[in-house]
Amino acid sequence: MSKRIFVLAVFFAFGFNFSLYSAEPVKVYYSEEGKFTIPFGRNYNYADVLVKRVVDGDTIVLETGERVRLIGIDTPELHESDKLYRDASRTKQDISTIQKLGRRAYEFTRNLVEGKRVSLEFDAEKRDRYKRLLAYVYLKDGTFVNAEIVKQGYASLMTIPPNVKYADLFLRLYREARENRRGLWK
């Protein structure tokens, strides 16, 4: 058996086993023969997926086990993290105040989406550096979740190019929420 066939046989044996646990197809590239892709794993239907739980005000977990970071918005930190300490330093607020605001944003998002079926819309990038899906989320009744969180005053803006499809809408909703002292702006 040639070395090339042996390597491919090993790849298929291990790659297939890995793909059973993968939420997205595995992509394989070989430089000797050029670039090619071998799809494995499952493709999920993001047009109709259950929100299993809410992690915080801007992150949810799907029935697939995948984490979704809501594009364009940022809610106060609920959990202990480096970002919590950076936000405290940046805003000059104490950590417990930020976490209390984070709890309110979390509860709003949880009441809005947890246990409900949603659809996802992607922008230019599908995943962030932490491998979370980046998405705009919609309830089955058409409610645009990202926008609703901003509109009701539970999020600030986080615009990270190239994912800017609804940046103008979010800015308008953010200003209205602040002016009308909704949600966290009371």
Taking Cα atoms as reference points, which of 109, 110, 122 lies closest to residue 148?
Answer: 109
- Neighbour tally for 116: CB within 10 Å: 14
**Which residues partner with 134 through β-bridges?**
69
Taking Cα atoms as reference points, which of 95, 101, 135 lies closest to residue 118?
Answer: 135
**Which residues partner with 144 through β-bridges?**
138
Kindly give, in sequence order, each residue whose CB lies less than 8 Å from that of residue 32, ignoring residues fewer than 6 positions away.
Answer: none
Active site residues: 69, 77, 132
Interatomic CA distance for residues 31 and 50, integer angstroms: 39
| Helix (H) or strand (E) segment spanning residue 170 | helix 167-179
